[in-house]
Amino acid sequence: MNWTRGRTIGRGSTATVSIATTADNAGHVFAVKSSELSKSESLRREQGILSTLSCPEIVAYKGFDITSENGKLLYNLFMEYAPRGTIMDAIQKQQGGLDETMVRSYTRTILLGLQFLHSSGIVHCDIKGQNILVTDDGVKIADLGCARSVTATAACTVAGTPVYMAPEVARGEQQGFPADVWALGCTVIEMATGKSPWPDVRDPVSALYRIGFSSDVPEIPSNISKQGKDFLTKCLKRDPVERLSVNELLEHEFITESKCPVKDQLDSPNSVLQQQLLWDSMEELETIQVPSTNKSVMERIRQLALW
């Protein structure tokens, strides 16, 4: 496919996201996520997973390409373009939390996407507002760069964003389906309050230690309904065995009373500046991937923090 790269709309530590168009007369618009070929392991893993999936609640795969640009070989992953940005962009535009009706609807859609992934034996490993795209009809799960088969998680890297990590992940013990449920709970708090699930934690070491080794859980928002509070309590059990599954959460009254999709009233971001993330400067919002080892707990935390 011949295509033309447009402006950059997102940037991470190893990849950038740009708008692109096909070079034919149709000029179809799509998103392209690019990284240097030598640093594209995560992007290639994402391509391998996305190319096997077809789910309306997950961003659609459009192909891939390797290009030479400015003297560098780039690996390019093509995906559908969501002009409204991410949930974090929506929070920034609202300058605070989203309406609970919208939170319920978005949460239900995320659960449906997770249900599809989990039924396919895949753990997302990095659910957060930054990785949920807003469309005209709702939301879609994106960024599967950390995702992997549940059978491979025991021997693979620990991945995700520290403030969304479940306790067992922060300790390096396991990263199964319940870890996605914990991260979903953190994301619901993010949507409801417009804040990090751990607003008083400012660095990865503090986040990992508190999440992994204290008895704390994120504070349940006071501005959410009784149903929402109960839903979050079911997601944020420190023991993964005690958390509800995505199938069980889909039957929770916080979800069942919001089956009608919510039409997002937010305007589409119209500039690169508007599409920047609310907490770009916060280190704990960076996704990390570190191989599991036999190192001590504190050595692992230091390794994660320095990644």
Please state, in angstroms and rounded to a whole number, the distance separating the CA atoms of residues 302 and 307.
Answer: 9
Number of H helices, E strands in the chain: 10, 11
Which member of 24, 89, 99, 126 is catalytic? 126
Per the rule left: phi > 0, alpha: psi between -120 and 50, beta: everything else, 36 is: beta
In the block, tokens 């007369």 appear at 25
With CA atoms as reference, report the closest residue to 109 among 157, 148, 146, 56: 56
The two structure tokens encoding residue 258? 């919001």
The three-state secondary structure class of 220 is coil
Q: What is the DSSP string of 105-166?
A: HHHHHHHHHHHHHHHTTEE----SGGGEEEETTEEEE---TT-EEGGGTTTSEEEE-GGG--
Contacts 24+ apart (CB under 8 A), 144-148: 144/45, 144/46, 144/49, 144/50, 144/58, 145/15, 145/42, 145/43, 145/45, 145/46, 145/287, 146/42, 146/287, 146/289, 147/45, 147/46, 147/49, 147/117, 147/122, 147/123, 148/45, 148/122, 148/123
Is residue 24 among the annotated active site residues?
Answer: no
3-state secondary structure at position 227: helix
Q: What is the DSSP string of 24-41?
A: STT--EEEEEEEEGGG-H
Residue 86 to residue 72: CA distance in whole angstroms: 29
Q: Which residues are catalytic?
A: 126
